[in-house]
Amino acid sequence: MQNFLSILDLDPDRLGKVLELAAKLKRERVKGMKAPTWNALNGKNVGLLFEKPSLRTRVTMTIGVRELGGDIVEIPADVMRADREPIQDVTRNLERWVDAVVIRTFAQERLSQIAEITPKLHVINALSNEEHPCQALADVQTLSEKWRSFEGRRIAFVGDGNNVCTSLVHVAMMLGIAVHVATPKGFELPDEVVDQAAAVSQKGAGLTEFTDPKAAVRDVDAVYTDVWTSMGQEVEYADRKKLFQRYQVNEALMALAKPDALFMHCLPAHRGEEVTDEVIESPISMVFDQAENRLHSQKALLLQMLT
């Protein structure tokens, strides 16, 4: 696979292979230098190009490449200032030196343009305004550890129809998991994503949209939320905080889901806004498993792309 800009760059078969490999890498991590993949990326260089802040993606990509025997080059954000040179020129330089570049940026379109003008460079989306596919891989790895099978499972995403929601819908459809998405009016998933969901859906899994969060979570197996204001939307913070109030995931909302329903969040979380302390700190909360699995699933992705 040349690029990973979207979950849609995978098909169900390849997705299954990445998840299988991710589980194996997780089991074998304790072997350290004795793990069979310890040297798999020997001689490979991976650049990190982040135009927005990151803890989880940056750290797990860095450690992941190192654990596979490759090298990481952190490119400081100031070289990407538009008044210095276009990001497309930055990546055309990188193409001459590194094997892959992991990019966190604004418009998804920018990633497609970069992939097009740097055909030798493997491009990995580390989050754009529209999609967060690396997160979605870790999310389904986490679910597969908790659920024996995805058959008949349903997830509710409550909040903003944003990048994390889009990639979750893509991956869930491909695995045959039904998704309910509850958003305020005006914050729904883009129509394009609704069409993509229908196109990639397996085993009759469907996407259903709601405005009422209570209706969306009724009898689901997991409830997922994310911040109401994503990076780059900070000026809208006060308005969004008011508009999204009834979409908070709290104990009363969780009580409407199945009794053993899981809580999920990509992090960073704003406690007291999209989720209460009680829910995120409760035993049903998967948030740190999701964060841990960023490492294993991205290592699997890197192996699929670079070896």
- Which of 110, 134, 141, 266 is catalytic? The answer is 266
279 contacts 285 by C-beta, under 8 angstroms: yes
Residue number with CB closer to ligand NVA (48 or 227): 227
| Residue 55: CB minimum distance to ligand CP, A | 4
Pair of tokens at residue 253: 């909302």
Which parts of the chain are beta strand (E)? 45-50, 71-75, 100-104, 122-125, 154-158, 178-182, 207-210, 222-225, 262-265
d(CA 130, CA 306): 25
d(CA 253, CA 255): 5
| Residue 134 appears among annotated catalytic residues | no
Span near ligand NVA by CB under 6 A; candidates 1-9, 99-107, 157-165, 210-218: 157-165
Taking CB under 6 A as the criterion, the residue among 41, 169, 266, 305 binding ligand NVA is: 266
Contact flag: residue 194 with ligand NVA (CB under 6 A): no
| Residue 249: CB minimum distance to ligand NVA, A | 15
Residue number with CB closer to ligand NVA (154 or 240): 240
Cβ-Cβ contacts under 8 Å for 295 (sequence gap 6 or more): 60, 63, 64
Considering only residues 56 through 85, tell me which ones interact with ligand CP, judged by CB under 6 A.
56-57
Query: Length of the chain, please?
Result: 307
Span near ligand CP by CB under 6 A; candidates 51-59, 64-72, 142-150, 279-287: 51-59
| Residue 83 appears among annotated catalytic residues | no
Instruction: Give the SS3 label for residue 201.
Output: coil
Size of the site for ligand CP (CB under 6 A): 9
| Residue 294 appears among annotated catalytic residues | yes
55 binds, among ligand NVA, ligand CP, none (CB under 5 to 8 A by kind): ligand CP
> In angstroms, how far apart are the furthest CA atoms of the chain?
55
Q: Which residues are catalytic?
A: 104, 132, 135, 226, 266, 294
